[in-house]
């Protein structure tokens, strides 16, 4: 007999070892998220996936699923928190969507639409972090980084290269390249690396392919992030927890 918990009044089955987030997505229930990726160990850094579990706020990507839990996600209290977090992310970085190559493929932008965030709501910080155009094929725009650590985890756990890391603390925390020079040209990154595929915003970009796919025909232009996340979610029948859609997931 499969154990279950309640999510917004719906019964969600889960398997041993699954988190609330994993079980919800596998059962076609979307919980907003940014730093969660189905191929990596849950991290819990962005807090967009916060839910109420038996009356207490928890990050659903790290909360183990347990029988009998009462989970609330689609309630105004939680969505208001998510909107505030998204507004803060927009204000903390340089996210100028109309001119950004990532527009239409950007998870932060798509979450803004999904949560009906119309303005940043906070004074913009306008960070001034030098771009890294040293690599012949890859551009890094550090000004857009939201510190999700997806590229750090991908480079370490999948690529085995440790190209990226975070340095500093508090409001000085920032993404760096693990090379003596600090420049991407002196790393061993490759275009085929997993780290090239996972950035949810517009930090890691391939050169000479900008806007080759027209805005209006991109991933989140075709369907909202909630629908795309459910397509990408591994299901219990997927061998070893893998899914074909994960290859194209941001």
Percent of the chain with pLDDT over 90: 84
250 has a pLDDT exceeding 90: no
Q: Model confidence over 176-217: pLDDT tens digits?
A: 999 999 999 999 999 999 999 999 999 999 999 989 999 999
Predicted pLDDT at 249: 53
In CATH, the number for domain 98-215 is 3.30.70.20
1 has a pLDDT exceeding 90: no
Cα separations in angstroms, 73 against 59, 70, 200, 202: 11, 10, 22, 28
Predicted pLDDT at 113: 96
Give the separation between CA 52 and CA 35, rounded to whole angstroms. 19
Predicted pLDDT at 121: 86
Pick the range with the lowest mean pLDDT from 41-50, 159-168, 182-191, 231-240.
231-240
Partners of residue 244 on adjacent β-strands: none
Q: Model confidence over 207-245: pLDDT tens digits?
A: 999 899 999 999 999 999 999 999 988 876 654 444 444
Report the CATH fold assignment for 3-80+224-247.
Ubiquitin-like (UB roll) (3.10.20)
Q: Model confidence over 104-116: pLDDT tens digits?
A: 999 999 999 999 9
Predicted pLDDT at 238: 52
Q: Model confidence over 113-140: pLDDT tens digits?
A: 999 998 888 999 999 899 999 999 999 9
Domains 3-80+224-247 and 98-215 share a fold: no
Q: Please state, rounded to an integer, the average pLDDT across all residues of the chain.
A: 92
Domain ranges of the chain: 3-80+224-247, 98-215
Give the separation between CA 150 and CA 34, rounded to whole angstroms. 9
Residue 183 backbone class (left: φ over 0; alpha: ψ -120 to 50; beta: rest): beta
Predicted pLDDT at 243: 46
Percent of the chain with pLDDT over 70: 94
Phi, psi (5° rounding) for residue 180? Answer: -55, -35
**What DSSP character marks residue 128?**
-
């Amino acid at each position: 007999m499969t154990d279950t918990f309640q999510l917004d009044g719906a019964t969600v089955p889960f398997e041993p070892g699954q988190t609330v987030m994993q079980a919800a997505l596998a059962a076609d229930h979307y919980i907003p998220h940014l730093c969660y990726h189905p191929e990596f160990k849950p991290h819990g850094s962005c807090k967009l996936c916060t839910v109420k579990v038996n009356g207490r706020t928890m990050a659903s990507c790290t909360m183990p699923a347990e029988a009998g839990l009462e989970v609330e996600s689609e309630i105004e209290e939680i969505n208001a928190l998510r909107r505030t977090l998204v507004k803060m992310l927009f204000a903390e970085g340089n996210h100028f969507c109309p001119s950004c190559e990532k527009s239409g493929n950007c998870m932060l932008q798509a979450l803004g639409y999904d949560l009906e965030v119309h303005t940043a709501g906070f004074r913009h910080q306008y960070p001034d972090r030098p771009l890294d155009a040293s690599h012949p094929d890859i551009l890094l725009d550090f000004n857009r980084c939201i510190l999700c650590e997806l590229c750090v985890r991908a480079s370490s756990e999948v690529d085995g290269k440790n190209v990226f890391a975070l340095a500093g603390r508090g409001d000085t925390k920032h993404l760096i390249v693990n090379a003596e020079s600090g420049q991407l040209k002196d790393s061993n990154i490759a275009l085929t690396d997993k780290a090239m595929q996972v950035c949810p915003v517009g930090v890691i970009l391939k050169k000479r392919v900008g806007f080759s796919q027209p805005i209006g025909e991109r991933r989140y232009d075709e369907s909202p992030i909630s629908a795309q996340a459910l397509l990408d979610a591994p299901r219990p029948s997927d061998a070893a927890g893998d899914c074909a859609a994960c290859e194209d997931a941001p």
